[in-house]
Amino acid sequence: MTHSTVNVAASSASYDIHIGEGLLSRAGDMLKGVLPSKKICVVTDEQVAKHYLFDFMHALEFAGFTPYPPVILAAGEETKSFQQLQHIIEKALGYKLDRKSALVALGGGVIGDITGFAASIILRGIHFVQVPTTLLAQVDSSVGGKTAINSPQGKNLVGTFYQPKTVLIDTGTLRTLPERELKSGYAEILKYALIDSPEFFQWLEQNGQKLLAGDPAALTYAIEYSCKAKAAIVKADEKEQKDIRALLNLGHTFGHAFEAIGGYDGRLLHGEAVGIGLKLAFDFSREVGLCPAADCDALGKHLDKTGLMQTPPFKVTANDVLARMKGDKKAKDGKMTFILARGIGKSFVANDVDEAKVTEFLRSRFGG
């Protein structure tokens, strides 16, 4: 059975992303050459466990691994908490994992983020493998080594940069993914086009609806393209020291604010928030004279055509959004950092945005 491979050459580590159908059933054999110890602990959530945990554990055992009883967490963004982080850590320490042992994240972005964070701080760092099962995790959060949990003050404010040993992307897991989750992941795919790939935007114009309908070829192409795009950015700027990796936050300054206002209660998925944020970033760029109206209109029509959310499903005010954005981890000396655009495929980091203009823009959209 064939699969494609994308290499991530980060400054701290180099590893491969494997992309293909049926990789879960081959996971044990694929990990034998990557992990130095057969002692591993799988972390997953209740929904993923129903679909994939039994077969995945069997594949590990068949290849000679000795997995401990898995850590099964509740599904949803609220799991990215100090309490659940401690739960993973205590389980791992109770299993007597050592520095050659590994945690394996089987699930979406929430599971990947919190499991990676736990692995980075248990015994000052044990091995870590990403096995993402959602489209969003496959194209974004499983790649690049960002780990985190949320705080009442905001999203992903507590975490580390910690690269996995490898990433196994089984595209077959997307068959059980709800349409809402597919659209959530699609927003992150669209982000790569808007950053610096107008030709990919044109491909999405032709193939986006097919992708969202579950077409295997379209999904595989988009996943591989997204992983290559992110790998190139991570190679250039692993820890956001050059204003290169920050481009991946296009749409996120607005989006994270909406997520925090909503209390991470499931009404607004991360990708949905990013989709809203992408539109706002382009609209604001147009209002300050940066982005052509035609490009903003093209993005809006694409969001309409693909059915992505364009406004939060709950009431927000400009003051609420501003307060959350000032607490974002990208803010510097109390000043907000934005990723703005001069057009589709022409995004850039802006550290000198006039707060009064942001306030006026948000009040025109949300009031207060």
Show which residues are catalytic: 124, 146, 188, 230, 240, 245, 249, 252, 256, 270
For residue 160, the surrounding DSSP H or E stretch is: strand 154-161
240 Rama sector, left if φ>0, alpha if ψ -120 to 50, beta otherwise: left
Read off the amino acid at residue 133: T
125 Rama class: left (phi>0) / alpha (psi -120 to 50) / beta: left
Q: Which residue type occupies 232?
A: A
Q: Say which amino acid occupies 276.
A: I
What letter does residue 50 receive in the DSSP assignment? I
| Pairing state between β 14-20 and 71-73 | unpaired
Q: How far apart are CA 281 and CA 340, in angstroms?
A: 6
DSSP letters, 240-308, are S-SSSGGGGGTTHHHHHHHHHHHTTSSSS-HHHHHHHHHHHHHHHHHHTT-S-HHHHHHHHHHHHHHT-
For 177, half-sphere exposure in the C-beta direction (CA atoms, 13 angstrom radius) is 28
Quickly list H helices, the chain: 27-32, 46-48, 54-62, 82-94, 109-121, 135-136, 179-196, 198-212, 216-236, 252-262, 270-287, 293-306, 318-326, 355-366
Q: State how far the Cα of 190 lies from the Cα of 278, in Å rounded to an integer.
A: 9
Q: Are 106 and 142 in contact (CB under 8 A)?
A: no
